[in-house]
Chain A
Amino acid sequence: MSPWFTGVVERVTVETARARTFTLRLPAPLGHRAGQHVVLRLTAPDGYTAARSYSVASAPTSEPTIDLTVERLDEGEVSTFLHDVAEVGDELELRGPIGTRFAWDPDDGPALLIGGGSGIVPLMAMLRLARLRGATDRVRLVAAARTPDDLLYAAELPGPEVTVAYSRAPGPGDRPAGRLGPADLAPAVRPGQRTFICGSSGFCEAAGRTLVDLGVAPTTVTVERFGPTT
Protein backbone atom coordinates (compact mmCIF):
# COMPACT_ATOMS: atom_id res chain seq x y z
CA MET A 1 0.00 0.00 0.00
CA SER A 2 1.38 3.38 -0.94
CA PRO A 3 2.23 5.56 2.03
CA TRP A 4 1.20 8.58 -0.04
CA PHE A 5 -2.27 10.07 0.16
CA THR A 6 -3.95 13.01 -1.46
CA GLY A 7 -4.72 16.36 0.08
CA VAL A 8 -7.10 18.63 -1.81
CA VAL A 9 -6.46 22.34 -1.48
CA GLU A 10 -9.58 23.65 0.23
CA ARG A 11 -8.48 27.16 1.13
CA VAL A 12 -5.48 29.43 0.71
CA THR A 13 -4.95 32.09 3.37
CA VAL A 14 -2.47 34.93 2.95
CA GLU A 15 -0.55 35.22 6.23
CA THR A 16 2.15 37.71 5.28
CA ALA A 17 3.73 38.99 2.06
CA ARG A 18 5.81 35.80 1.91
CA ALA A 19 3.72 33.18 3.71
CA ARG A 20 0.45 31.47 2.91
CA THR A 21 -1.49 28.78 4.69
CA PHE A 22 -2.82 25.92 2.59
CA THR A 23 -5.76 24.13 4.16
CA LEU A 24 -5.83 20.61 2.75
CA ARG A 25 -8.70 18.13 2.96
CA LEU A 26 -7.46 14.58 3.57
CA PRO A 27 -9.08 11.17 3.17
CA ALA A 28 -9.01 10.81 6.97
CA PRO A 29 -7.72 12.78 9.97
CA LEU A 30 -3.92 12.90 9.88
CA GLY A 31 -3.58 11.67 13.47
CA HIS A 32 -0.53 13.80 14.09
CA ARG A 33 0.96 15.09 17.30
CA ALA A 34 1.37 18.85 17.50
CA GLY A 35 4.84 19.66 16.15
CA GLN A 36 5.07 16.85 13.60
CA HIS A 37 5.51 17.41 9.90
CA VAL A 38 4.39 15.92 6.60
CA VAL A 39 6.19 15.45 3.31
CA LEU A 40 4.60 17.08 0.29
CA ARG A 41 5.52 15.69 -3.15
CA LEU A 42 5.01 17.30 -6.55
CA THR A 43 5.21 15.23 -9.72
CA ALA A 44 5.90 16.58 -13.22
CA PRO A 45 4.45 14.96 -16.36
CA ASP A 46 7.81 13.24 -17.05
CA GLY A 47 7.82 11.62 -13.62
CA TYR A 48 10.27 14.08 -12.05
CA THR A 49 9.39 14.67 -8.43
CA ALA A 50 10.27 17.25 -5.79
CA ALA A 51 9.43 16.63 -2.15
CA ARG A 52 9.79 18.89 0.88
CA SER A 53 8.87 18.64 4.54
CA TYR A 54 6.33 21.07 5.99
CA SER A 55 5.26 21.41 9.58
CA VAL A 56 1.58 21.09 10.33
CA ALA A 57 0.24 24.37 11.75
CA SER A 58 -3.15 23.04 12.82
CA ALA A 59 -3.83 21.23 16.07
CA PRO A 60 -4.76 17.57 15.92
CA THR A 61 -8.56 17.29 15.83
CA SER A 62 -11.11 14.84 14.49
CA GLU A 63 -11.35 16.95 11.31
CA PRO A 64 -9.80 15.45 8.16
CA THR A 65 -8.03 18.70 7.32
CA ILE A 66 -4.58 20.14 8.02
CA ASP A 67 -3.06 23.57 7.62
CA LEU A 68 0.42 23.92 6.14
CA THR A 69 1.95 27.39 6.33
CA VAL A 70 4.56 27.77 3.63
CA GLU A 71 7.06 30.58 3.27
CA ARG A 72 7.89 31.45 -0.33
CA LEU A 73 11.61 31.01 -0.96
CA ASP A 74 12.71 32.61 -4.21
CA GLU A 75 14.77 29.59 -5.22
CA GLY A 76 12.27 27.18 -3.70
CA GLU A 77 11.12 24.65 -6.23
CA VAL A 78 8.16 23.53 -4.13
CA SER A 79 7.31 26.72 -2.24
CA THR A 80 7.20 28.80 -5.43
CA PHE A 81 4.88 26.24 -7.00
CA LEU A 82 2.58 26.34 -3.98
CA HIS A 83 2.52 30.14 -3.92
CA ASP A 84 2.42 30.87 -7.63
CA VAL A 85 0.56 27.94 -9.17
CA ALA A 86 -1.47 25.91 -6.67
CA GLU A 87 -5.18 26.72 -6.47
CA VAL A 88 -8.21 25.60 -4.53
CA GLY A 89 -9.20 22.17 -5.81
CA ASP A 90 -5.68 21.03 -6.69
CA GLU A 91 -4.58 17.62 -5.45
CA LEU A 92 -1.25 17.33 -3.65
CA GLU A 93 0.48 14.14 -2.56
CA LEU A 94 1.38 13.84 1.11
CA ARG A 95 2.81 11.36 3.56
CA GLY A 96 3.20 11.42 7.29
CA PRO A 97 2.92 12.38 10.06
CA ILE A 98 6.67 12.28 10.70
CA GLY A 99 8.83 13.20 13.67
CA THR A 100 9.15 12.01 17.26
CA ARG A 101 10.77 14.29 19.75
CA PHE A 102 9.63 17.58 18.25
CA ALA A 103 6.04 16.90 19.30
CA TRP A 104 4.02 17.90 22.33
CA ASP A 105 0.73 17.41 24.06
CA PRO A 106 -0.43 19.29 27.19
CA ASP A 107 -0.42 15.94 29.02
CA ASP A 108 3.37 15.85 28.53
CA GLY A 109 3.76 18.73 31.00
CA PRO A 110 4.73 22.39 30.68
CA ALA A 111 6.48 23.53 27.53
CA LEU A 112 8.37 26.61 26.43
CA LEU A 113 8.06 27.23 22.69
CA ILE A 114 10.48 29.57 20.93
CA GLY A 115 9.99 30.24 17.23
CA GLY A 116 11.73 32.52 14.75
CA GLY A 117 10.10 33.48 11.46
CA SER A 118 8.42 30.49 9.83
CA GLY A 119 9.76 28.44 12.75
CA ILE A 120 6.58 29.45 14.56
CA VAL A 121 4.55 27.04 12.41
CA PRO A 122 4.96 23.74 14.34
CA LEU A 123 4.76 25.68 17.62
CA MET A 124 1.44 27.13 16.49
CA ALA A 125 0.02 23.61 16.37
CA MET A 126 1.10 23.20 20.00
CA LEU A 127 -0.36 26.58 21.07
CA ARG A 128 -3.60 25.85 19.26
CA LEU A 129 -3.84 22.45 20.94
CA ALA A 130 -3.23 23.98 24.37
CA ARG A 131 -5.95 26.55 23.73
CA LEU A 132 -8.40 23.91 22.47
CA ARG A 133 -7.78 21.88 25.61
CA GLY A 134 -8.03 24.87 27.94
CA ALA A 135 -4.46 24.15 29.00
CA THR A 136 -2.73 27.45 28.23
CA ASP A 137 -1.12 27.34 31.69
CA ARG A 138 1.02 24.52 30.28
CA VAL A 139 2.56 26.55 27.49
CA ARG A 140 4.60 29.70 26.89
CA LEU A 141 5.31 30.84 23.34
CA VAL A 142 7.99 33.37 22.45
CA ALA A 143 7.42 34.34 18.81
CA ALA A 144 10.18 36.23 17.02
CA ALA A 145 9.87 37.91 13.63
CA ARG A 146 11.81 40.54 11.71
CA THR A 147 9.00 43.10 11.77
CA PRO A 148 5.28 43.14 12.60
CA ASP A 149 4.58 42.62 8.90
CA ASP A 150 6.52 39.35 8.99
CA LEU A 151 4.79 37.90 12.05
CA LEU A 152 2.73 34.81 11.25
CA TYR A 153 -0.73 34.42 12.81
CA ALA A 154 -0.50 37.97 14.16
CA ALA A 155 -4.21 38.25 14.86
CA GLU A 156 -4.46 34.88 16.55
CA LEU A 157 -1.30 34.95 18.66
CA PRO A 158 -2.05 37.47 21.41
CA GLY A 159 -2.72 36.03 24.83
CA PRO A 160 -1.13 35.98 28.27
CA GLU A 161 0.89 32.90 27.28
CA VAL A 162 2.47 34.57 24.22
CA THR A 163 5.39 37.00 23.96
CA VAL A 164 6.30 38.65 20.67
CA ALA A 165 9.69 40.11 19.75
CA TYR A 166 10.96 41.82 16.60
CA SER A 167 14.58 41.80 15.46
CA ARG A 168 14.28 44.74 13.05
CA ALA A 169 11.49 46.85 14.52
CA PRO A 170 10.73 48.30 17.96
CA GLY A 171 7.85 47.02 20.06
CA PRO A 172 5.66 45.65 21.33
CA GLY A 173 5.64 48.21 24.13
CA ASP A 174 9.06 49.69 24.84
CA ARG A 175 11.05 46.70 23.56
CA PRO A 176 13.83 47.92 21.25
CA ALA A 177 14.51 46.08 17.98
CA GLY A 178 16.89 43.20 18.49
CA ARG A 179 17.45 39.49 18.63
CA LEU A 180 16.00 37.42 21.46
CA GLY A 181 17.96 37.94 24.66
CA PRO A 182 17.87 36.84 28.28
CA ALA A 183 15.31 39.54 29.10
CA ASP A 184 12.91 38.05 26.56
CA LEU A 185 13.37 34.45 27.61
CA ALA A 186 13.95 34.54 31.37
CA PRO A 187 10.30 35.31 32.27
CA ALA A 188 9.17 32.26 30.28
CA VAL A 189 11.57 29.78 31.89
CA ARG A 190 9.92 27.55 34.48
CA PRO A 191 11.14 24.45 36.30
CA GLY A 192 10.15 21.08 34.90
CA GLN A 193 9.65 22.54 31.46
CA ARG A 194 10.60 21.11 28.09
CA THR A 195 11.70 23.58 25.46
CA PHE A 196 11.05 23.44 21.72
CA ILE A 197 12.98 25.83 19.49
CA CYS A 198 12.29 26.17 15.78
CA GLY A 199 13.78 28.55 13.26
CA SER A 200 16.95 29.08 11.26
CA SER A 201 20.04 27.30 12.50
CA GLY A 202 21.52 30.56 13.81
CA PHE A 203 18.30 31.49 15.59
CA CYS A 204 18.08 28.07 17.24
CA GLU A 205 21.68 28.04 18.45
CA ALA A 206 21.47 31.60 19.81
CA ALA A 207 18.19 30.99 21.64
CA GLY A 208 19.49 27.66 22.95
CA ARG A 209 22.72 29.19 24.25
CA THR A 210 20.75 31.95 25.99
CA LEU A 211 18.57 29.35 27.68
CA VAL A 212 21.57 27.30 28.80
CA ASP A 213 23.09 30.47 30.25
CA LEU A 214 19.80 30.95 32.14
CA GLY A 215 20.28 27.52 33.70
CA VAL A 216 18.12 25.39 31.38
CA ALA A 217 19.47 21.84 30.95
CA PRO A 218 20.45 21.20 27.29
CA THR A 219 18.86 17.75 27.42
CA THR A 220 15.43 19.34 27.95
CA VAL A 221 15.75 21.34 24.73
CA THR A 222 14.59 20.02 21.35
CA VAL A 223 15.43 21.91 18.21
CA GLU A 224 14.05 21.88 14.70
CA ARG A 225 16.06 23.80 12.18
CA PHE A 226 14.59 25.20 9.00
CA GLY A 227 17.65 24.88 6.81
CA PRO A 228 18.13 26.52 3.45
CA THR A 229 16.68 23.41 1.87
CA THR A 230 14.75 24.86 -0.97
Chain B
Amino acid sequence: MAVTRGFTGRPRPERDRRLPPGQYDAGDDWPVLHVELVPELPPAAWSFAVDGLVAAPRTWSWDEAQALPRSTYEGAIHCVTTWSKFDMTWAGVSVDVLLAQAGGALPGASHVLIHSHTGYTTNLPLADVTGGRAWLAFEVDGAPLEPIHGGPARLLVPHLYFWKSAKWASRIEVLDHDQRGYWEDGGYHDRGDPWHEQRYHGD
Protein backbone atom coordinates (compact mmCIF):
# COMPACT_ATOMS: atom_id res chain seq x y z
CA MET B 1 0.00 0.00 0.00
CA ALA B 2 1.14 3.51 -0.76
CA VAL B 3 1.73 6.02 2.00
CA THR B 4 -0.66 8.97 1.77
CA ARG B 5 1.17 12.30 1.81
CA GLY B 6 0.54 14.14 5.05
CA PHE B 7 -1.54 11.44 6.74
CA THR B 8 -0.61 10.41 10.25
CA GLY B 9 -3.97 9.26 11.60
CA ARG B 10 -5.36 9.19 15.09
CA PRO B 11 -2.96 8.97 17.98
CA ARG B 12 -2.44 5.27 18.65
CA PRO B 13 -0.07 4.92 21.61
CA GLU B 14 -1.58 1.65 22.85
CA ARG B 15 -3.68 -0.03 20.25
CA ASP B 16 -6.20 -2.32 21.91
CA ARG B 17 -5.18 -5.88 21.13
CA ARG B 18 -8.84 -6.80 20.89
CA LEU B 19 -9.16 -4.55 17.81
CA PRO B 20 -8.86 -6.35 14.48
CA PRO B 21 -6.80 -4.54 11.81
CA GLY B 22 -8.38 -1.40 10.40
CA GLN B 23 -10.99 -1.18 13.17
CA TYR B 24 -11.55 1.46 15.85
CA ASP B 25 -13.33 1.31 19.19
CA ALA B 26 -16.78 2.89 18.91
CA GLY B 27 -17.03 3.12 22.70
CA ASP B 28 -20.62 3.72 23.79
CA ASP B 29 -21.79 4.41 20.22
CA TRP B 30 -23.67 1.75 18.36
CA PRO B 31 -23.98 2.92 14.75
CA VAL B 32 -27.03 1.83 12.76
CA LEU B 33 -26.41 0.91 9.13
CA HIS B 34 -29.14 -1.33 7.76
CA VAL B 35 -30.57 -0.85 4.24
CA GLU B 36 -34.25 -1.35 5.00
CA LEU B 37 -36.95 0.38 6.99
CA VAL B 38 -37.25 -1.06 10.50
CA PRO B 39 -40.05 -3.64 10.18
CA GLU B 40 -42.91 -3.93 12.63
CA LEU B 41 -42.67 -7.41 14.10
CA PRO B 42 -45.11 -7.98 16.96
CA PRO B 43 -45.05 -11.54 18.31
CA ALA B 44 -48.03 -12.54 16.16
CA ALA B 45 -46.18 -11.50 12.99
CA TRP B 46 -42.88 -13.08 13.97
CA SER B 47 -41.66 -16.53 13.07
CA PHE B 48 -38.36 -18.25 12.55
CA ALA B 49 -37.62 -21.23 10.31
CA VAL B 50 -34.79 -23.65 9.66
CA ASP B 51 -35.15 -25.41 6.34
CA GLY B 52 -33.29 -26.57 3.25
CA LEU B 53 -30.89 -29.45 3.82
CA VAL B 54 -32.04 -30.49 7.28
CA ALA B 55 -33.75 -33.71 8.30
CA ALA B 56 -36.91 -32.09 9.67
CA PRO B 57 -37.48 -28.49 8.50
CA ARG B 58 -39.44 -26.54 11.05
CA THR B 59 -40.81 -23.16 12.04
CA TRP B 60 -41.06 -21.63 15.50
CA SER B 61 -43.64 -19.13 16.70
CA TRP B 62 -42.53 -16.35 19.03
CA ASP B 63 -43.67 -18.26 22.14
CA GLU B 64 -42.02 -21.48 20.95
CA ALA B 65 -38.76 -19.67 20.29
CA GLN B 66 -38.86 -18.03 23.71
CA ALA B 67 -39.11 -21.45 25.32
CA LEU B 68 -35.86 -22.72 23.75
CA PRO B 69 -32.78 -23.00 25.97
CA ARG B 70 -30.62 -19.90 25.89
CA SER B 71 -26.92 -19.25 26.11
CA THR B 72 -24.86 -16.10 26.15
CA TYR B 73 -22.02 -14.47 24.26
CA GLU B 74 -19.78 -11.99 25.99
CA GLY B 75 -17.37 -10.03 23.89
CA ALA B 76 -16.96 -7.78 20.88
CA ILE B 77 -18.67 -7.16 17.57
CA HIS B 78 -16.95 -5.79 14.49
CA CYS B 79 -18.63 -3.84 11.67
CA VAL B 80 -17.07 -3.72 8.22
CA THR B 81 -17.49 0.06 8.24
CA THR B 82 -14.55 -0.09 10.72
CA TRP B 83 -16.14 0.30 14.14
CA SER B 84 -15.87 -2.37 16.82
CA LYS B 85 -17.79 -2.50 20.07
CA PHE B 86 -16.46 -4.26 23.16
CA ASP B 87 -17.78 -5.87 26.33
CA MET B 88 -21.27 -6.68 25.09
CA THR B 89 -23.41 -9.43 26.58
CA TRP B 90 -25.82 -11.12 24.22
CA ALA B 91 -28.39 -13.80 25.01
CA GLY B 92 -30.19 -16.04 22.59
CA VAL B 93 -30.63 -19.53 21.24
CA SER B 94 -27.56 -21.22 19.83
CA VAL B 95 -27.87 -22.07 16.14
CA ASP B 96 -26.69 -25.56 17.19
CA VAL B 97 -29.94 -25.92 19.15
CA LEU B 98 -32.04 -24.71 16.24
CA LEU B 99 -30.33 -27.08 13.80
CA ALA B 100 -30.67 -30.01 16.22
CA GLN B 101 -34.39 -29.33 16.63
CA ALA B 102 -34.68 -29.36 12.84
CA GLY B 103 -33.19 -32.83 12.80
CA GLY B 104 -29.66 -31.72 12.02
CA ALA B 105 -27.97 -30.83 8.74
CA LEU B 106 -28.07 -33.49 6.04
CA PRO B 107 -24.92 -34.90 4.38
CA GLY B 108 -23.62 -32.47 1.79
CA ALA B 109 -24.77 -29.37 3.68
CA SER B 110 -21.97 -26.82 3.48
CA HIS B 111 -23.39 -23.29 3.69
CA VAL B 112 -26.35 -21.34 4.96
CA LEU B 113 -28.25 -18.40 3.54
CA ILE B 114 -29.77 -16.31 6.32
CA HIS B 115 -33.03 -14.55 5.46
CA SER B 116 -34.59 -11.58 7.19
CA HIS B 117 -38.22 -10.53 7.57
CA THR B 118 -37.28 -7.53 5.37
CA GLY B 119 -35.92 -9.61 2.49
CA TYR B 120 -32.28 -9.03 3.44
CA THR B 121 -30.02 -12.04 3.01
CA THR B 122 -26.46 -13.00 3.93
CA ASN B 123 -24.44 -16.15 3.28
CA LEU B 124 -22.11 -18.04 5.60
CA PRO B 125 -20.28 -21.35 5.70
CA LEU B 126 -22.20 -23.83 7.86
CA ALA B 127 -19.09 -24.22 10.00
CA ASP B 128 -19.31 -20.56 11.00
CA VAL B 129 -22.78 -20.89 12.48
CA THR B 130 -22.19 -24.17 14.33
CA GLY B 131 -19.96 -25.20 17.22
CA GLY B 132 -21.32 -22.59 19.64
CA ARG B 133 -20.32 -19.60 17.50
CA ALA B 134 -23.72 -18.29 16.36
CA TRP B 135 -27.04 -17.44 17.99
CA LEU B 136 -30.52 -16.23 17.30
CA ALA B 137 -30.21 -13.35 19.74
CA PHE B 138 -33.07 -11.78 21.67
CA GLU B 139 -31.31 -9.72 24.30
CA VAL B 140 -28.31 -7.49 24.59
CA ASP B 141 -26.85 -6.25 27.87
CA GLY B 142 -29.83 -7.58 29.78
CA ALA B 143 -32.57 -5.87 27.76
CA PRO B 144 -34.67 -6.93 24.77
CA LEU B 145 -32.93 -6.16 21.50
CA GLU B 146 -34.28 -2.85 20.17
CA PRO B 147 -35.94 -2.88 16.74
CA ILE B 148 -33.36 -0.43 15.36
CA HIS B 149 -30.65 -2.99 16.18
CA GLY B 150 -32.56 -5.93 14.72
CA GLY B 151 -35.06 -6.70 17.47
CA PRO B 152 -36.97 -8.67 18.40
CA ALA B 153 -34.39 -11.19 17.12
CA ARG B 154 -31.30 -11.09 14.95
CA LEU B 155 -28.62 -13.53 14.04
CA LEU B 156 -25.42 -13.11 16.04
CA VAL B 157 -22.15 -14.34 14.51
CA PRO B 158 -19.70 -12.20 16.43
CA HIS B 159 -16.50 -13.69 15.02
CA LEU B 160 -17.38 -12.36 11.55
CA TYR B 161 -18.12 -8.82 10.31
CA PHE B 162 -21.48 -7.79 11.62
CA TRP B 163 -23.39 -7.62 8.33
CA LYS B 164 -23.44 -11.42 8.63
CA SER B 165 -25.46 -11.03 11.83
CA ALA B 166 -28.71 -10.38 9.96
CA LYS B 167 -31.18 -8.09 11.71
CA TRP B 168 -34.80 -9.26 12.02
CA ALA B 169 -33.69 -12.78 11.04
CA SER B 170 -36.51 -15.00 9.81
CA ARG B 171 -34.92 -18.13 8.40
CA ILE B 172 -31.81 -20.25 8.10
CA GLU B 173 -31.72 -21.98 4.73
CA VAL B 174 -29.19 -24.83 4.74
CA LEU B 175 -27.55 -25.34 1.33
CA ASP B 176 -25.00 -27.59 -0.38
CA HIS B 177 -23.37 -24.56 -2.05
CA ASP B 178 -22.51 -20.95 -1.30
CA GLN B 179 -25.22 -18.55 -2.48
CA ARG B 180 -24.45 -14.86 -2.14
CA GLY B 181 -26.62 -12.57 -0.06
CA TYR B 182 -27.37 -8.87 -0.26
CA TRP B 183 -23.98 -7.31 0.48
CA GLU B 184 -21.96 -10.24 -0.82
CA ASP B 185 -23.67 -9.80 -4.19
CA GLY B 186 -22.58 -6.17 -4.07
CA GLY B 187 -18.90 -6.79 -3.55
CA TYR B 188 -18.58 -7.77 0.10
CA HIS B 189 -16.69 -10.87 1.19
CA ASP B 190 -18.33 -14.29 1.32
CA ARG B 191 -16.86 -15.09 4.75
CA GLY B 192 -15.95 -11.76 6.37
CA ASP B 193 -13.32 -12.62 9.01
CA PRO B 194 -12.32 -9.31 10.65
CA TRP B 195 -8.95 -10.68 11.78
CA HIS B 196 -8.04 -11.25 8.12
CA GLU B 197 -9.75 -8.05 6.96
CA GLN B 198 -12.02 -9.99 4.63
CA ARG B 199 -14.09 -6.95 3.78
CA TYR B 200 -14.58 -7.30 0.03
CA HIS B 201 -14.29 -9.90 -2.69
CA GLY B 202 -10.65 -10.81 -3.16
CA ASP B 203 -9.50 -9.89 0.37
Stretch with Cβ within 8 A of A (4 or more), from B25-33, B97-105, B133-141: B25-33
Measured CB to CB, the closest approach of chain B to A218, in angstroms, equals 5
CB of A51 within 8 A of CB of B9, answer no
Within 8 A of A (CB), among B44-81: 79, 81
A187 within 8 A of B: no
A77, A93, A222: the one contacting B35 at CB < 8 Å is A222
A53, A77, A208, A222: the one contacting B81 at CB < 8 Å is A53
Residues in chain A near residue B81, CB distance under 8 A: 52-53, 227, 229
Stretch with Cβ within 8 A of B (4 or more), from A11-19, A41-49, A61-69, A146-154: A41-49
Give A195-226 as 1s and 0s: 1 = Cβ < 8 Å from B's Cβ atoms: 00000010011001100100000110111110
Main secondary structure of the interface of A (DSSP, over half): mixed
B195 within 8 A of A: no
B24, B79, B148, B188: the one contacting A98 at CB < 8 Å is B188
Q: Name the residue on A nearest B186 (C-beta).
A: A100
CB of A221 within 8 A of CB of B37, answer yes
Given A98-B186, A225-B32: A205 touches B4 (CB 8 Å cut-off): no
CA distance A204 to B37 in the complex (A): 8
CB of A225 within 8 A of CB of B34, answer yes
CB of B37 within 8 A of CB of A98, answer no
CA distance A114 to B56 in the complex (A): 45
Q: Name the residue on B nearest A4 (C-beta).
A: B1
Could you tell me how many residues of chain A have their Cβ less than 8 Å away from some Cβ of chain B?
48
CB of B6 within 8 A of CB of A93, answer no
Residues in chain B near residue A43, CB distance under 8 A: 1-4, 7
Q: Name the residue on A nearest B1 (C-beta).
A: A43
A228 within 8 A of B: yes
Residues in chain A near residue B29, CB distance under 8 A: 228
Residues in chain B near residue A92, CB distance under 8 A: 4
CB of B36 within 8 A of CB of A229, answer no
Give A72-83 as 1s and 0s: 1 = Cβ < 8 Å from B's Cβ atoms: 000001000100
B5 within 8 A of A: yes
Measured CB to CB, the closest approach of chain B to A158, in angstroms, equals 29
A95 within 8 A of B: yes
CB of B37 within 8 A of CB of A100, answer no
Residues in chain A near residue B186, CB distance under 8 A: 98-101
Within 8 A of A (CB), among B157-203: 182-183, 185-188, 199-203
CA distance A92 to B202 in the complex (A): 20
CB of A44 within 8 A of CB of B4, answer yes
A47, A95, A223: the one contacting B37 at CB < 8 Å is A223
Give A82-112 as 1s and 0s: 1 = Cβ < 8 Å from B's Cβ atoms: 0001100011110111111110000000000
Q: Name the residue on B nearest A221 (C-beta).
A: B37
B22 within 8 A of A: yes
Q: Name the residue on A nearest B187 (C-beta).
A: A98
CB of A99 within 8 A of CB of B82, answer no
CB of A93 within 8 A of CB of B82, answer no
Measured CB to CB, the closest approach of chain B to A95, in angstroms, equals 7
CB of B187 within 8 A of CB of A218, answer no
Kindly list 15 other residue pairs between chains A and B, CB separation below 8 angstroms, not including A39-B200, A222-B35, A223-B35.
A3-B203, A6-B2, A43-B1, A47-B1, A53-B81, A81-B7, A86-B6, A90-B4, A90-B5, A91-B5, A100-B187, A101-B182, A219-B119, A221-B36, A225-B33
Can you list 27 A-B contacts (CB < 8 A)? Answer: A4-B1, A6-B2, A39-B200, A43-B3, A45-B3, A50-B22, A53-B81, A81-B6, A85-B6, A91-B4, A96-B187, A98-B186, A98-B200, A100-B186, A101-B186, A201-B32, A205-B37, A218-B118, A219-B118, A219-B119, A223-B34, A223-B35, A223-B37, A228-B29, A229-B33, A229-B79, A229-B82
Q: Which 7 A-B pairs have the closest CB atoms?
A: A100-B186, A227-B31, A208-B37, A98-B187, A85-B6, A42-B7, A42-B4
